Amino acid sequence: MPPTDQAPPAGDPPLPGVKRVDPALVARLDRALEAKGPRYEPHTRHRFPDGKPRYTNRLILESSPYLLQHAHNPVDWFPWGDAAFERARAEHKPVFLSIGYSTCHWCHVMEQESFEDTEIATFLNEHFVCIKVDREQRPDVDAVYMTAVEALTGQGGWPMTLLLTPDREPFFAGTYFPPRAGARGARVGLLEILRQMASRYATDRASVVARAEQVSRHMEALAEPAAPGAVPTAATVVAAARAFASRFDPAHGGFGGAPKFPQPARLDFLLRYAARTGDPGALEIVRRTLVAMADGGIYDHIGGGFHRYATDARWRVPHFEKMLYDNAQLAALYVAAYQLDGDARFARVARETLDYVHREMTSPAGGFYTATDADSEDDEGHSVEGWFFTWPASEVRKVLGAERAKVADAVWGITPAGNFEGGRNILYVGAPLAESAKKLGVTEAALRASLESSRRALFEARAKRKPPHLDDKIVAEDNGLMIGAFARASLALDEPRYLEAATRAASFVLDHLRAPGGALGRSFAGGAVSGDGYLGDYAAMIAGLLDLYEASAQPRWLEAARALQAQLDAHFWDAGPGGYFRTADTAEKLPMRTRPGYDGAVPSGNSLEASNLLRLAQLDGGDAHRARAERIFEAFSQMLERAPLAVPRLLSALEAYHDVALEVVVVRPADAAGEGPRAREAAALASVVRGTYLPGSFVALCTEAEARAQAARVPLFDGKAALHDAPTAFVCERGRCKLPTSDPAALRRQIAGMRRPLTTPAPAPLAVPER
């Protein structure tokens, strides 16, 4: 029992197992529920006959779509914060911590099986203080406790399930648990674990606390940075390329076996390596993988965009959620591959992916949404994984008619029995179109026309289904990645509407997620900003703004990038070993403050920052940013040299560090607009730049007035003019320039002649097995 002189703990909502109801809190929850409006659909099976939710907890007051999904569980959930831990300390209870995200399939399963179960909810409410965390809203909390899960179990994933002391130290951890012993063949379920741990905490708290302190010390040791070394040499880049090649799946593309993730950062590194060294093996790895993914079921052949990953080695059976950060990186990768390889398929996939994001993942105000769910409702209202994206053969025939359905079946692998659960079909391309056209007795052009007609018809039919849940929060980090993808595509594909999409999103983030003092927020949902920005938010936004600056030649984007960089340097930099912390020096103090280095589904902030700093150094003409980038390479030198598979994006930055800092500026005179001869000359020079893959370089297509206006703030624009009133291209390295030219062929030669060999002698080509 708490000490008698301590104020009694505040009450709770009327939930099973709750002993003290707080009328004021209940009134707040009722008002929040009423504010949802008459069309609000509560996410729960516990309802009154009129359809209203039987239970409402504190999460109804939150803005996170994930937390709101749990607002009507019978569990007495708290959001992360001091109030929950103070309650646990006052009532001498352990904390039950659950971390997930709104489009996580197994998070939904655990909610339905356990958190909607009144017996389990009652036990949780009686014996624990329960906290629910959206990992996309609080990546710092997620990272800290993922370390604990991995340390205690040897693996990680979501949902995360942990038990903590009131001092936030973990003493038990896992991921998904079935509700009870026997469910899904389990020997022990969540309820048995909770009973055992609650009993142990009540009867032997000293040993539980000692265990938690031991785990915390182990976590701190894991977070201790490795000793910095020298900046790794170019030989490290070569060794990394060989390490990636050794993991390549020659039969199906990608790396390793099932489940198979796209891993765009690895492919981007190999594409850079191929461009730098001319290594045909590196390019072949990228080509095979990009073709296999674009043909596979992981790609949405009807609506565009990529699903999260494939559950098989052949990319045919996806896990159906779609994440903004995946599609941002993959769209940019396909654009880059098109620039280097020239395969029109890559440009098509990039366009279709960006068009999907523009159509379905963009808010009216311009910001980009986070994700869509893997699950969607079938015709009877049941939640089924992949329902929205899959097809019975009979429905395909009904929509397309017999003749077009015959073609669609042959190309997209549709069978009467189905190739997926429930007799439904995942669409994938099983053979090259030329081969399918020959079998069908038609030309390849005619086949493409038929498929496009069928795609449009199926898209219209699919639009009548209830779509998957949309996580509509706008995360700064993910938006930065997508701003960069749209900006790069606008430049490479000469697509003004992509530039407009990038511009609107950048304006939204800077207008709505940036505080008056310049600090960045994490996310925007429900009309409000949630949480302070993390390293990844700043780094990705800086990268996106620099891409937008290149694509638009508008200095406001560079100034915004510089301002965000100043915030990072002031509040996130580790003055000891170097590199950036995940959180600002003003952030909530968690059990450990880490410097992220691992490039996972999203590149680490330090990897992005190494590249950002090199780019800013090129634009500013000084050495301070480059010196800071070197500190990052030194801080993570052991990872670069010993674990290259974990840091592909940082390796790309290291490759750029060991290359020429190339600058390509095309200046057009005022009369180069419209359809006249000057406009055609400017377009010819611009076409060379758009069609050339130039990673690590700065490119600008601008008017003479734009170049003149920026020269004072960006030294590389100094002296750049339209000579003899003709469009003029300048190819330079840190102010040292080739002769200005108005000849597209000369421009192409100058660019090619400026590249520096990675090593001397050149590295031996990568060995890539046949299929």
The mean per-residue pLDDT over the stretch 11-28 comes to 90
Beta-sheet pairing, 322-323 with 371-372:
antiparallel
Instruction: Identify the CATH number of the domain in which residue 670 sits.
Output: 3.40.30
Residues 421 and 341 in one domain: no
Q: Is the pLDDT of residue 4 over 70?
A: no
| pLDDT at residue 222, as a whole number | 81
Distance CA 170, CA 239 (A): 39
Q: Which pLDDT tens digit goes with each residue over 459-468?
A: 999 999 999 9
Q: Which pLDDT tens digit goes with each residue over 112-146?
A: 999 999 999 999 999 999 999 999 999 999 999 99
Q: Is the pLDDT of residue 474 over 50?
A: yes
**Domain coverage including residue 642:** 234-374+471-657
Beta-sheet pairing, 728-733 with 662-668:
antiparallel
| pLDDT at residue 211, as a whole number | 95
Q: State the pLDDT confidence band at 220, using cuts at 50, 70 and 90.
A: confident
Structure tokens at 198: 């609650």
Instruction: Identify the CATH number of the domain in which residue 51 sits.
Output: 3.40.30.10
| pLDDT at residue 221, as a whole number | 86
Q: Which pLDDT tens digit goes with each residue over 393-448?
A: 999 999 999 999 999 999 999 999 999 999 999 999 999 999 999 999 999 999 99
Q: State the pLDDT confidence band at 9, using cuts at 50, 70 and 90.
A: very low
Residues 174 and 147 in one domain: yes
Distance CA 591, CA 217 (A): 10
State the total domains in the chain: 4
Is 408 a domain residue?
Answer: yes
Distance CA 726, CA 723 (A): 6
| pLDDT at residue 231, as a whole number | 98
Domain's final residue, options 642, 657, 672: 657
Is 239 a domain residue?
Answer: yes
Distance CA 693, CA 337 (A): 8
* Mean pLDDT of the chain, nearest integer: 95
Is 88 a domain residue?
Answer: yes
| pLDDT at residue 768, as a whole number | 92
Structure tokens at 184: 């899904």
Nearest CA among 445, 456, 457, 442 for reference residue 410 = 442
Q: State the pLDDT confidence band at 531, using cuts at 50, 70 and 90.
A: very high
Q: Is the pLDDT of residue 1 over 60?
A: no
Residues 323 and 410 in one domain: no
Q: Which pLDDT tens digit goes with each residue over 601-641?
A: 999 999 999 999 999 999 998 899 999 999 999 999 999 99
Residues 548 and 646 in one domain: yes
Nearest CA among 160, 424, 426, 471 for reference residue 310 = 426
Q: Which pLDDT tens digit goes with each residue over 28-77?
A: 999 999 999 999 999 999 999 999 999 999 999 999 999 999 999 999 99
| pLDDT at residue 223, as a whole number | 80
| Mean pLDDT lowest among 12-26, 274-288, 304-318, 604-618 | 12-26
Residues 358 and 379 in one domain: no
Residues 405 and 345 in one domain: no
Q: Is the pLDDT of residue 5 over 50?
A: no
Q: How is 277-346 classified by DSSP, letter by letter?
A: H--HHHHHHHHHHHHHHHHSTTB-TTT--B-SEESSTTS-SEE--EEHHHHHHHHHHHHHHHHHH--HHH
Domain's final residue, options 657, 690, 722: 657
| pLDDT at residue 6, as a whole number | 39
Domain's final residue, options 444, 467, 490: 467
Residues 676 and 626 in one domain: no
Residues 104 and 157 in one domain: yes
Above pLDDT 90, what percent of the chain? 92
Q: Which pLDDT tens digit goes with each residue over 633-688?
A: 999 999 999 999 999 999 999 999 999 889 999 999 987 777 788 899 999 999 99
| Mean pLDDT lowest among 8-17, 52-61, 240-249 | 8-17
List all residues 6 or more positions away from 83 whose beta carbon is below 8 Å from its beta carbon: none
Helix axes 535-552, 496-512, angle to 10 degrees: 140
Is 711 a domain residue?
Answer: yes
Q: Is 71 helix (H, G, I), strand (E, B) or coil?
A: coil
Q: Are 56 and 43 in contact (CB under 8 A)?
A: no
Residues 421 and 440 in one domain: yes
Q: Are 393 and 426 in contact (CB under 8 A)?
A: no
Buried b (16+ CB within 10 A) or exposed e, 701-740: bbbbebbbebeeebbbbeebbbeeebbbbbbbbeeebbeb
Q: Which pLDDT tens digit goes with each residue over 315-364?
A: 999 999 999 999 999 999 999 999 999 999 999 999 999 999 999 999 99
Is 15 a domain residue?
Answer: no
Residues 52 and 172 in one domain: yes
Is 321 a domain residue?
Answer: yes
Q: Is the pLDDT of residue 3 over 70?
A: no
Is 140 a domain residue?
Answer: yes
Beta bridge partners of 741: 729
Q: Is the pLDDT of residue 8 over 50?
A: no
Beta-sheet pairing, 698-703 with 662-668:
parallel
Residues 65 and 185 in one domain: yes
Distance CA 490, CA 554 (A): 14
Residues 494 and 583 in one domain: yes
| pLDDT at residue 10, as a whole number | 56
| pLDDT at residue 569, as a whole number | 98
The letter for the amino acid at 129 is: V
The mean per-residue pLDDT over the stretch 457-486 comes to 98
Q: Is the pLDDT of residue 90 over 60?
A: yes
Is 312 a domain residue?
Answer: yes
Q: State the pLDDT confidence band at 224, using cuts at 50, 70 and 90.
A: confident
